[in-house]
Amino acid sequence: MKIAFLDAVHDSIKTSFVELGWDVQEWFDLSRDEIKEKLFELDGIILRSRIKMDSDFLQHAKKLQFIGRPGAGLENIDSDYCKHKGIKVFRSPEGNRDALAEHATGMLLMLFNNLKRADNEVREGKWRRKENRGHELMGKTVGIIGYGYMGEAFAKRLAGFQVKLIAYDKYKSGFGDGVVKEVSLEELKLNADVISLHVPLTDETSGMVCEDFLSSLSHPIYLINTARGPVVQTRALIDALRSGKVLGACLDVFEQESSSFESVHETKKSMQELRDSDSVVLSPHIAGWTHESKEKMAKFLIEKITAEFGS
């Protein structure tokens, strides 16, 4: 089999494929058009997010048997086209769920305890104890939207804080247990003090958190987004922060990100407004991207691909 790596990933994936006797190519520097011209050669592709694989692109892949992406999101791959053509699509959300859950928990604690502001002020010689008094997680109700690998891992991390955990998932049911209570979206909006998003980016979820969504909340909340940036409409969030409808936000992903996740559009005024806010904790799309998760995502992906094609 001939396999092309379109992005740099953990070395163990290449090593495993070479051990199987597969012809492994690294096309990191090729453009989308250059790759398109060579697609007919390939039996498999490994990528992250650099290349958009829509039907126009994939129709040139006459021999393609599989696409593998370390991680969770598949928004850059036309999964329906792949299913129609019999192209297997593999991902490995099991590998970065723990990293994401820890990161989201850390961001929330940082927000609740004003650690961003307090750290900056102490470094500047300011000693403001009263102004930086924080809030406890204990006793709060945390609502999780999307209860897949990421949502469940986040719930397990928070369980030890003695919070009340509720979760809504449009496409999953029967997951309520001793850790989390399954609820409707309406019930979640009614009761949650914190709302954390763990949904994939689809036509349905794009812009889900908008002015109408935020206006429908029964009381002010804290918002966490470690899913995908376009799930939250930035302008609606900023307006809600100003009005007090949202008390604070933890954002690892942004509506203004490039499709490859490697940059944000610096010219966007809304990004500067987020940076200027003491009520927002920001990180550069790294919630699921630890040293350990990179290796684990590769491990799970290797297992899935070799189970199907390794014999």
Q: Is 91 tagged catalytic? A: no
Query: One fold for both 2-95+291-309 and 97-282?
Result: yes
Task: Please determine, for residue 17, whether its predicted confidence score (pLDDT) is greater than 70.
Answer: yes
pLDDT at res. 271: 87
Rounded to the nearest 10 degrees, how much is the dihedral formed by the CA atoms of 126, 127, 128, 133? 130
The DSSP letter of residue 169 is -
Active site (annotated) includes residue 228? yes
pLDDT value at 310 more than 70: yes
Write down the catalytic residue from 48, 69, 103, 285.
Answer: 285
User: What is the pLDDT averaged over residues 118-138?
Assistant: 96
Return the pLDDT at 243.
96
Give the residue extent of every domain in the chain. Answer: 2-95+291-309, 97-282
State how far the Cα of 65 lies from the Cα of 44, in Å rounded to an integer: 6
* pTM of the predicted protein model: 0.93
Catalytic-residue membership of 117? no
Query: What pLDDT does residue 264 have?
Result: 75
Q: Which two tokens mark 111? A: 């927000």
Looking at 48, 50, 228, 255, which residue is catalytic? 228
Q: Could you tell me which residues come within 8 angstroms of residue 165 by beta carbon, excluding any fewer than 6 positions away?
A: 141, 142, 144, 155, 158, 159, 179, 180, 181
Find the angle CA(283)-CA(205)-CA(162) to the nearest 5 degrees.
60
For residue 21, pLDDT beyond 70: yes
Per-residue pLDDT tens digits for 132-148: 999 999 999 999 999 99
Give the architecture-level CATH label for domain 97-282.
Answer: 3-Layer(aba) Sandwich (3.40)
| Residue 311 in this model has a pLDDT that exceeds 70 | no
Q: Is there a contact between 282 and 264 (Cβ–Cβ < 8 Å)?
A: no
CB 173 within 8 A of CB 182: yes
Phi, psi of 199, deg, nearest 5: -110, 155
Asked whether 135 and 117 are in contact (CB, 8 A), the reply is: no
Q: Of 3.40.50.720, 3.60.15.10, 3.50.50.60, 2.40.170.20, which CATH number belongs to 2-95+291-309? A: 3.40.50.720
Token pair listed for 158: 């928070």
